[in-house]
Structure 1
Amino acid sequence: GGMLAVLQRGDARDAETAQLAQRLGAQALVEEDLDLSLLLARQAVAIGDTPQTRGYLLASLLRSPKAIRIMHGSDALLWGIALNPDGRTLAVCDFFGKLRFYDARTYAQIGEPLPTDWVESIAYSPDGKTLAYGGDSYVRLIDARTREQLAEARVPGRAARMAFTKDGSELVLLVERSISVRDAATLETVGLPIELEGFRASYIHSYYRPPHFALTPDGRSLVTASDKGELAKWDLQSRRKTRTFEIATGYHALALSPDGLTAAVGIDGGIQLVDVRTGEKRTATAGLTGSPNWLLFSPDGQMVVSANLDGTATLWDAESATPRETLRGHSSAVQQPVFRPDGKTLYTVSDDGTAIAWDLTGNRSVKRPFTFTHDRDFDEAYDRHPGRFSPDGRLIAVGLKEQGIALRGVSDLTPAGAPLLETGGEVKGLAFSPDGRTLAAVTGGGAATIWDLASRSLRHELTFGGGLYVGVGFSPDGMMLATSGNAGVELWDVATGASLGKIAGSTWAGDVAFSADGALVAVAAAAPGVPRAQVWDVAKGSLVATIEGGPGAAGDTLSVALSPDGRMLAVGGYGKVVHLWDIPTRKLVHELDQGGAGAVTLEFSRDGRILAVSGFEPVTSLWDVATGTQIGPSLTAGRRTAMMDLSSDGRRLLMTLANGQGAVWDVDPASWARRACALANRTLTREEWETFLPGRPYEPACR
């Protein structure tokens, strides 16, 4: 009786721990602040590592997939940000009158904040040696390295905007409705100010929003946008307008392209791009809340970023005047953005008291996108492109439009040599040999090619049944190749290219998969009106098991996968449900409702714990085999039919889409945990711990 009581108490504690982990993970998904969401999701995994808590962690990371680090200021609003031209140091000003400095590469704070008066604007000199900042009735210059004050001047109002001229000799300053030019060493006034009409500050969401100006690249002119709807170009030497254009009325953020030919003007709900030579306007909207706080062109001029009131930053294509992407991660209004000189990283500051670094290339994110071939119109017979990892995880092979195979390096996703073109048509199936030295490809027209990767030479050209759905796979010893299509499953000698006969007679087979030991082969077989899959003994050529139907099954079977131990068979078809069957008992183990149309590719991880599923929609889902639970949200990339592959170590997922786009996903839960802690860039405070984990010892997972 005593032992039973002990066991029952242990079971109760385990259940309580599981409930706590589940509750923390669910809380993470509704938290407004990104850093707290990540910390709670990571803590949930530390308390109870389950498919559900791993899914919460992935979902938290996918809230802001391009965010790479959060830099914490204080409880104060962060107003402005500037990047030293050498790309090494970020200067950030907050509402309570402090300047903070961060290493722009490691994101660590540099030294203690510099106390000062309330700061409205901030700018580095072109040589990076001087930092200018200003606020209510003052402007100052400090040494950017030592932070020693170099000069100070009083101004008649708020020093709201500032910018150094190209040669760094002068500082242009907006104070209320007046623009003055000052000596960049002494801050003494140079010439008369420009007095602006129809130019006023606005109060938006209770916050003061001063107007903007932009200097031309040569530093000889500036551009202004008035509330009354006038875009004007001014000569700095004469202080006179040289051009004016009509624009919308209201508050306007303003930026000038690096070549000085295009002005980006903030409008309600979006931006206008104005040719400053002709006045031609192109309008782009994306449902923004109000007019942007700030606009900035990328260094190459191809993109405009808007800092928005709703806590987002929108990336706009400057050529087409269309929104590219929205960056979400701040919980309050974004005030100002700044690019690294190479344009690959963006930094933003927000009223939520944080600065966020964003990876615009996607190469440092949990999802790394790439484009591998040209898009085409939808075609039912050809609307898919296969992709495969090499066994060592260093290369990926992808099928190209019309003909050929491209090889890319996994580390940077760039081409690894010339494509392999002589495939006899558009490739619909790919397989690497277990040693990674050989690549096989099949087409819908019935051409199969075997390639030597070291020499990039074609070893064998084979002809098989072909069909709308085809498959290909190597035996685990690499000596045998199986192809599937209208003529069933055909076996081939890899060394000689000779036929070794057929499995499953001449029945249509849409997919084929070997077991890990090579003893069995699974086949997506045909049966009139009934989804069917078969498992065959390779050596004996005998049928081991036939699986038919299942709840939610519809149409032909399109894809099959065998678990590494050969005991479990995954079967997918036109329906949205994937069925997991126990082969020895012929019992249905799980019904995986992926919610989408069809299952075109299925794959088990090497340890058999995860099943990946992709189909006619541009998504892939990950499933825990033991529980039949989906792990996190579905993963997306590109458009239309998705095919996928898991790397041999199970840490990466390759998605290749029918429109020629692809992505490599980090699907390693240990990596998700590291990413969450790195991105949050802090630990749970004791106060937060007591709020969410009262009574438990303080043991934060992120330190």
Structure 2
Amino acid sequence: MRSLDLTYALQDAAAEANVQKAVFAPDAATLATVGATDSDTTDRFRLWTTAGGQVRDLPHHPVMAAVPEAYDEDDDGTSAYSRDGRLLATDSWHEDRKPRVTVWDVHENRLRAELTLPDPVLGVSGFTFTPDGTRLAVAVTKSSGPGRPVARAVQLWNLGSGRQEYEIADTGAANLEISPDGSHLFTSAGERVDLAARTVERGVLGPGVIQDLEFSDDGSVLAVSLLQGTVTLWDGAGRRRLGGLSSTAATRGDDFGGRVAALRFSRDGRTLAAIVGDSKVQLWDVPARRRLGDPLRGSAGLLRALAFDARGRLHVSSSYRPHRVFDLAPEAVARALCERVGRDLTRAQWQQNVPDLPYRSVC
């Protein structure tokens, strides 16, 4: 159904863009990037409208924190959208070197809140919005005093008042997910935080080093990617394991560094996408618990972010190309395969690439 050869090496080789960070809104309507583009080689923050490709700046944007570190990041924890795509949060620094989180209303193009994190906060690891968009959970590192190890904490900030409501000590990580009902926070350190009781359970979501977490839109499934190159599926409470998804890279021993990042569900929850390695995308059929073909090459550069829109199209941002969109509908895949192969597929090729449609001539 959705196996396409997305090879763009020749296009990307001529590109002058250098996107260092990227994050899509949940509906893929907007894209926030940090870096240079083909038309503007200045490293700066940009907001893209994916439907028409318009680019704009957000007002009052401070200096981005440690942009070069983005080359090695496997998470999007320090840039996040609210569930409705209206609010965008990023970490930032001012001349006073105090860590901050800035939040914009991207629909009205205005600053919504600026959170100055108090001492002894050293930096921000990650953050995520509550489902209603009124609060932001911020994972921070804190100084514990001379000669003592750095401490972790999660702080809940009210975006209306700009004030911290409370802090939960000894928890937090780069990737955070709050369940769609707002009851629990999950971290890539394998923690489940009850936000009402403010209690922490550790060692949840099974063994293994967690890279990323993502809820389906309806909250019924929590996907967790592990360092060994697999994805596990859990119920919405994160207590019952529903099954596992293996990647081609993991099963074939491909050299991809164990990276399975940027997990994203399609809007209907039936398809899961992830970046595997540097430049490929793996798709899975979630109900069938199977891979949809081999990993697809999304760029000759480093992939930064993924998202599905309401039509089921896959949006991709990479270091060389800020935005691409791929139509993954079976009919579109069949047409693309015909164009690339130049003839009708064999029945075996059809079954591998377009199993959701009955075999027929398309060329």
Alignment TM-score > 0.5, same fold: yes
| Separation (CA, whole Å) in 1 of partners of 2:346 and 2:224 | 31
Amino acid at match of 2:79: I
Q: Look up the match of 2:68.
A: none
Q: Look up the match of 2:144.
A: none
Give the superposition deviation at 1:212: 1.3
From 323, 328, 331, the counterpart of 2:300: 331
From 299, 317, 321, the counterpart of 1:349: 317
From 27, 32, 49, the counterpart of 1:91: 32
Give the superposition deviation at 1:634: 4.6
Aligned partners of 1:292 and 1:307 also within 8 Å: yes
Give the superposition deviation at 1:140: 0.6
Q: Look up the match of 2:195.
A: 236
Q: Look up the match of 2:231.
A: 271
From 287, 308, 320, the counterpart of 2:276: 308
Residue 105, structure 1, aligned to residue 51, structure 2: yes
| Separation (CA, whole Å) in 2 of partners of 1:33 and 1:174 | 40
Give the superposition deviation at 1:122: 2.6
- The Cα offsets for residues 324-352 of structure 1, whole Å up to 9 and x where unpaired, read as 14332312332221222x25122222233
Aligned partners of 1:332 and 1:351 also within 8 Å: yes
| Separation (CA, whole Å) in 2 of partners of 1:663 and 1:330 | 30
Aligned partners of 1:33 and 1:330 also within 8 Å: no
Amino acid at match of 2:182: G
| Separation (CA, whole Å) in 1 of partners of 2:178 and 2:360 | 40
| Separation (CA, whole Å) in 1 of partners of 2:54 and 2:12 | 17
- The Cα offsets for residues 589-637 of structure 1, whole Å up to 9 and x where unpaired, read as xxxxxxxxxxxxxxxxxxxxxxxxxxxxxxx8x9xxxxxxxxx745464
Q: Look up the match of 1:40.
A: none
From 209, 225, 229, the counterpart of 1:250: 209
From 64, 89, 110, the counterpart of 1:132: 89
Residue 174, structure 1, aligned to residue 119, structure 2: no
From 139, 148, 162, the counterpart of 2:127: 162
Q: Look up the match of 2:148.
A: none
Aligned partners of 1:93 and 1:122 also within 8 Å: no
In structure 1, the gaps of 5 or more residues are: 1-29, 38-71, 201-210, 370-619, 623-631, 643-655, 666-703
Highest CA radius of gyration, 1 or 2?
1
Name the CA shift for 1:192/1:112 in 2 (closer, same or farther; >3 Å).
Answer: closer
Q: Look up the match of 2:289.
A: 321
| Separation (CA, whole Å) in 2 of partners of 1:185 and 1:662 | 57
* 3-state SS, counterpart of residue 56 of structure 2: coil
Q: TM-score, normalized by length of structure 1? A: 0.39
Name the CA shift for 1:296/1:103 in 2 (closer, same or farther; >3 Å).
Answer: same
Aligned partners of 2:285 and 2:291 also within 8 Å: yes
Name the CA shift for 1:216/1:149 in 2 (closer, same or farther; >3 Å).
Answer: same
In structure 2, the gaps of 5 or more residues are: 1-6, 37-41, 66-76, 94-98, 142-151, 251-255
Name the CA shift for 1:220/1:35 in 2 (closer, same or farther; >3 Å).
Answer: same
Name the CA shift for 1:183/1:234 in 2 (closer, same or farther; >3 Å).
Answer: same
| Separation (CA, whole Å) in 1 of partners of 2:274 and 2:325 | 15
| Separation (CA, whole Å) in 2 of partners of 1:82 and 1:291 | 19
Give the superposition deviation at 1:215: 1.2
Q: Look up the match of 2:80.
A: 123
Cα RMSD (Å) of the superposition? 3.7
Aligned partners of 2:135 and 2:156 also within 8 Å: yes
Say how many residue pairs are matched.
310
| Separation (CA, whole Å) in 2 of partners of 1:75 and 1:190 | 41
* 3-state SS, counterpart of residue 348 of structure 1: strand
- The Cα offsets for residues 31-67 of structure 1, whole Å up to 9 and x where unpaired, read as 8353458xxxxxxxxxxxxxxxxxxxxxxxxxxxxxx
Name the CA shift for 1:269/1:663 in 2 (closer, same or farther; >3 Å).
Answer: farther
| Separation (CA, whole Å) in 1 of partners of 2:132 and 2:300 | 38
Matches within 5 A, 1:638-657: 639-640=347-348
Name the CA shift for 1:238/1:663 in 2 (closer, same or farther; >3 Å).
Answer: farther
